[in-house]
Structure formats: C-alpha cells, structure tokens
Amino acid sequence: MSSNLPAVIAEVRGHIGHLTLNRPEGLNALTLEMVRLLQTQLEQWSDDSNILAVVLRGAGERAFCAGGDIRGIYEKHLAGESDIAEFFEEEYALDGYLHAYGKPVLALMDGFVLGGGMGLAQAASIRLITERSRLGMPETAIGYFPDVGGSYFLPRLPGEIGLYLGITGTHVNAADAMHVGLADVCIRSEQLAQLDQLLDAFDGTQDLQSQIAELSDLGLPSPEFAQLQTTINLHFSQPDIAAIRRSLSAETRPEFADWAKATAKLIDIRSPIAMAVTLELLRRGRHLTLEQCFAMELHLDRLWFDGGDIMEGVRALLVDKDKQPKWNPPHIDQLDADRVAAFFTDL
C-alpha cells in the first residue's frame, strides 16, 4: 500500500465493503485517526442496503494489526496531552460496535494479531486465520494488562488457557487458535486470492462463513493446548501470581517440565503488578457482560499510566530498547494485595 493513501482504505467490491488498515511499516498498529475512520465507515455501510458484509484486513503480509500505537500514546502522556483517554474510549466503543454489528464482519487475521488487533478480530462474526497467523495479548510484557475486551474473551476460553495467555503474553499459532476457539476458519495464505474471488462474487444467497469454510483444507498439526490443557488448569488456577510461579516450579512430570520451566521464565520477566492486575481482571471478567468488561478496562486505563508499569515498560522495550525495565515492584514476592485491589475500587 502507498504511504500516500489514508491510514484506513475503504473500498466496495460487489456487495462487500473492504476496510484495510494501512500502516504496514508499523504492523498496522491502530491510531486514534484509524479508529475514527473505521467507526465512520462502518456506520455508513450499516445503513447501505447494497453492502451485505464487511471485511477487515491489514496491509502487507506481516500483520493484520499488532495492537494500538502504544509508543504514540506514551509520547502523548509524557507531553501531557489530553486525548489518551479519548483513544481508549473510542477504541473500545469501536470494538463494542463491531460485536453488535448487524452485518457479517470477516476479520482476515493473516500474520500477527496482537492487542488491539485482537480487539477488532474477536469482535468479528467470522474470524479467519492462515498458517502464518500468530495471535496474542502480550500486554504484560510492557507493563500493561489485556484490554479491548480481553477481560471478556480470554476467561471464556477453555479452562484456564485465557489466564495463561493473558498473564504470560504467549502467542498462539493457527492450530491452537482453532482448538481454543479464537478463530473460526483456517485457509492457506496462498488461497487469499481465491478468497477475494469468492468475496467479489458474494450475493447473499448463501451463508458467507459456510462458503469460506469450503476453502479450508489446511492440514494443521496437533494443537499443543490439547496436551497442555489439564496442566495449564492446574497451575493457573492457583490463588495468586506467586502461587502460580511456585506451582510451575514444582512441575516434575517429564512431558510438562520444559513447558513449565519456560513459562516460569516468562513470569520472571513480566511486570509483577501487571500480571497481578491481569489475574484479577480476568477472573472478574469471567462473570461480567461485555459492556461491563469494557467499563472495567477503561477504569483501569484512567489509573494505569500514573499508577501502573506501562510507562517504564514502553521506555525499556520500545523507546530506549535497553530491555531492562525497572518494574514496581521488581519481584512477584513483593506484590501488595491492597495495591492490586485499589485498581478495582470504585468500579
């Protein structure tokens, strides 16, 4: 896509409205401008009887959308600019609008689908992946927590898999995404041109998802989560982050020991306060409506840039890139339960 084109490209082909996130150099990370462009176009197409469905995709072959433009938000916060809250409010409103959209929405999740990209994709009625797809909510790595509805869709995955993904930030491949219900259809990346031909010919006489599913003949490997499910349930049902870490360290079964060791190492480098808040967020979200989950995430956003670890995480990993974040507190054994609880006061 040309840099002279807008950050979101809207076009109509046949009876399908196509929205392309056009920041390939930034892995199509969302800006406030892009959120507003998406919202405006979706509203227009909602009232257009010629448009029978909408397709969301990302420019380039690397990513559907790798999240929000968190570095831009970091810089705005440092400068004391006031539209940070606007970004989260409007991004969550867009995600909520997509969840309730009156026409089929196909999210073409080729490549990386992270953070804000997951918010868009998990709101779509048809979630399509390829063998190149890598899905994840990696927020704790930068001292943040899973948002964009993550507090709703993560805890509704089988068992404790959503808590494992939210706390560790682990990426999911195509086989595991299909297995746990983060995607509906998987096709080969070389079939994307064939998919576009199908979309161009769509006339509404058949179910769109059923038509697309006919393309799906990709033989995926056995999902790792099928073997890990009971083990993930065991460790991530522990009462707090320190207990989860101790449980992982106590894993001695040969078939799970390497996974447990690698997972413990991830916990050791993530933000302790972000993981603790994520654990509470997801356990609360399991019993809340989607709207309540968005409200809870927005409440945390208003406190997090001054009270959480995100500014330090972005500095260390995205700005200075020294990869040595000074988390507060630095270790999970130093977590204060009252501090964690305070983020959820006055919800």
Domain count, the chain: 1
Nearest to 38 by CA among 126, 105, 113: 105
Q: What is the pLDDT of residues 230-250, one digit of tens each?
A: 999 999 999 999 999 999 999
Taking residues 75-97, what's their average pLDDT?
91
What is the CATH classification number for the domain harbouring 319?
3.90.226.10
Buried residues in 172-206 as b, exposed as e (16+ CB within 10 A):
bbbbbbbbbebbbbbbeeebbeebbeebeebeeee
172 dihedral zone (left: phi>0; alpha: psi -120 to 50; beta): beta
Residues 36 and 107: their CA atoms lie apart, in Å, by 18
Q: Name the strand (E) or helix (H) holding 151.
A: helix 150-153
Domain range enclosing 271: 1-347
pLDDT in the model for residue 219: 82
SS3 sequence of 82-105: CCHHHHHHHHHHHHHHHHCCCCCE
Does residue 68 carry a catalytic annotation? Answer: yes
Does residue 60 carry a catalytic annotation? Answer: no
Q: What is the pLDDT of residues 23-42, one digit of tens each?
A: 999 999 999 999 999 999 99
Q: How many CB atoms lie within 10 A of CB 90?
A: 16
Does residue 139 carry a catalytic annotation? Answer: yes
State the pLDDT confidence band at 214, using cuts at 50, 70 and 90: very high
- Is residue 302 within 8 Å of 85, Cβ to Cβ? yes
Name the residue type at position 11.
Answer: E
pLDDT in the model for residue 216: 85
Q: Is the peptide bond before 329 cis (omega within 30 degrees of 0)?
A: yes
pLDDT in the model for residue 244: 98
68, 111, 115, 162: the active-site residue: 68
Buried residues in 127-157 as b, exposed as e (16+ CB within 10 A):
bbbbbbbbbbbbbbbbbbbbbbbbbbbbbeb
Residues 42 and 94: their CA atoms lie apart, in Å, by 9
Does residue 116 carry a catalytic annotation? Answer: yes
58, 116, 117, 162: the active-site residue: 116
Nearest to 95 by CA among 72, 65, 62, 122: 122
Is the model's pLDDT at 217 over the cut of 80? no
- Bridge partners of 44, per DSSP, are none
147, 160, 176, 309: the active-site residue: 147
139, 280, 297, 301: the active-site residue: 139
State the pLDDT confidence band at 3, using cuts at 50, 70 and 90: low
